[in-house]
Chain A
Amino acid sequence: MSREGALNLVVLAGLVALPLWAHLAGETFTVTLATRAVILALAGVGLNLALGAGGLVSLGHAAFFGLGGYAMGILAFHAQSMTPLVDGLLPGTKSMPVIWLTTIAVSALAALVIGLLSLRTAGVYFIMVTLAFGQMFFYFAISWNAYGGEDGLSIWVRNGFPGLNTLVPIQFYGLCFAVLALVLLLSHLVRRSPFGLVLNAARQVPARLEAVGLDPTRVKLVAFVVSGAITGLAGALFADLNRFVSPAMFSWQLSGELMVLVILGGVGRLFGPVVGAVIFVALEHWLDGVSDYWHVYLGLLLLLIVLFARGGVIGLVAGRERAHD
């Protein structure tokens, strides 16, 4: 097994053992932190598909994260206020599986539209356009007073999942971890699949793809849509963790932070976003206790990584043999 593979196993084991230990020790807050890390990791896995495999530098992934959050918020809001979602027709719901499917559909659709427009460009244009579309959703959410406008929406009780009591932190953690593990497994398979091979080549040599009769733009678009759907699903879980959604989920800072955690762990690597999210949440927690200005330290760390350690943490530990940049 490669060093990277071993590291991945260690990380996975840690994500099982640490929260279980915290649960048994009564450290509920640690379980919540771990849940936050796992959900951000899931969002990062989504972004990593576009960014790492497809080379699409999207600074607008908060759009999908926020859409996931609002899909959950709106459905649960109607369920808790007993109002129909569409007059006389659709009720809201408190069922996670239904919310998840809705989320995936909504964010995939948004990613399709944004992707179709953004992929007409490349390079810095792509970055600016995705950032701008993300901001569009932010302003739209602020102006949408029916669902809380600037103040957002509070959901009183966490949504339910058949057979689980999601109000128990460790059970909700287990659910989020299971989703992450499933998505990681699928990611692993996709990376080796024909699609993964083609996507990987579309990033490196688009001209080669054309020359063998394949359309690099369409391949990237599909990756962008799947990427958006995964990040959207993470958004729905994140909203359920906080029982709150607000326009902040659409903010450009969030897009930036998702990108930062992917880079922190190692862009293009299967577990890059997972390692990155764990470090990110830990830093956020510890540094926030040390200083009011923890973002300064995050900024400095990020600068150092960009200037001197481009493979991220996994790159430092496992070497660069599988790096994608």
Chain B
Amino acid sequence: MTAALIAEQVLNGLQSGIMLFLMAAGLTLIFGVMGLINLAHGSLFMVGAFVAAATAAMTGHFVLALAAGMAAAAAAGALVEVVVLRRLYDRDHLDQVLATFALILIFTEGTRAVFGSFPLYIDLPLWLSGPVTLPFGIQYPFYRLALIALGLVVAGLLTLLIHRTRIGLQIRAGENDREMIAALGVDIGRLYTLVFALGAGLAGLAGAAVGPILSVQIGMGEPVLILAFVTIVIGGIGSIRGAFVGALLVGLTDTLGGIFLPEIFKLFMEPAAATRTGASLASMAIYILMAGVLILRPTGLYGARAA
């Protein structure tokens, strides 16, 4: 195993982690402000990917496709918030789980009805494709590097939004005390719709952005949703910083575990058995990580309060 391979895998881990962050940030924001657990967040990821794929196929314009995916998910999110979810903020978590599970069913079959059952693919434009040469002669796909950069930029913008703007002030106030933000004269209904659309937009952007490296297909959102849940449990609910750290941990553990665990087992097992055992264990690595965090810090690395 070479240093170049290790570096490549670390970059892969960072890339998938940072996309996971886009999902987890929206989820954790929505929970933090509205107290809502949204299982349909993965559906918004899927909507973003499908709309981006369709836009790219129609216009051939990749950046436009990304923007369309994000906008469509934000719009779908806002619609769902206004029609269904705002009735659930004061309900218990069971009702929220059921209603958003119902939304998954509706989104999944709705997407199937509109786009068909076959996977779609997004072609990268020339300027984003191909490998680049990094220091130490490491060859790495340019697009994956661009994804890492995109994620970092979004993380930075999100931090600015929350800590430096009026909307951010209202969001932080909303996380602490609903009455306080009403006292500030804020239209809570509009704020909630906005926060939900923001979270949905981030999920849609993530879906659109990973479209070129995954196949865009029905049901693609839920595995990512569950990873995002693992991320939030590790990072602590309601914390953007926790979502960031948790996402990178999950991304790196998942990627590196799949590569290194079989190698580690080869040190003391015959190769075939080592590959089998390593692969099985690697599939559970992030959940074992989550279990470890639960044992040591049940409210997550950055979580202050029990939910």
Contact = CB atoms under 8 A, between A and B. Distances in A.
Interface stretch (B152-160, B172-180, B225-233): B225-233
Contacts, number: 130
Interface SS of chain A: helix, strand, loop or mixed?
helix
Contact of B226 (A132, A144, A310): A132
Interface in B37-96: 37, 84, 87-88, 92-95
Interface in B84-115: 84, 87-88, 92-95, 97-99, 101-106, 108-110, 112-113
B109 A293 contact: yes
Contact of A132 (B103, B113, B233, B237): B233
Interface residues on B, range: 35 or more
Interface stretch (B143-151, B203-211, B278-286): B278-286
A21 interface: no
Interface residues on A, range: 35 or more
A121 B298 contact: yes
Contacts of A310: 95
B101 A260 contact: yes
Given A57-B94, A307-B99, A120 B105 contact: no
Interface stretch (B10-18, B120-128, B161-169, B287-295): B287-295
Contact of A125 (B84, B113, B282, B307): B307
Given A302-B102, A306-B98, A128 B233 contact: yes
Given A57-B94, A132-B233, A296-B105, A117 B113 contact: no
B100 to A, nearest CB: 10
B1 interface: no
A267 to B, nearest CB: 8
Interface of B: 31, 37, 84, 87-88, 92-95, 97-99, 101-106, 108-110, 112-113, 222-223, 226, 229-230, 232-233, 237, 276, 279-280, 282-284, 287, 290-291, 294-295, 298-299, 306-307
Interface of A: 51, 57, 59, 117-118, 120-125, 127-129, 131-133, 135-136, 139-140, 142-146, 252, 256, 259-260, 263, 267, 293, 295-296, 298-300, 302-303, 305-307, 310, 325
Q: What 5 pairs across the A-B complex have the smallest Cβ distances?
A: A299-B105, A136-B287, A128-B229, A302-B102, A139-B283
7 contacts: A123-B93, A127-B97, A128-B230, A256-B104, A295-B105, A299-B104, A303-B99
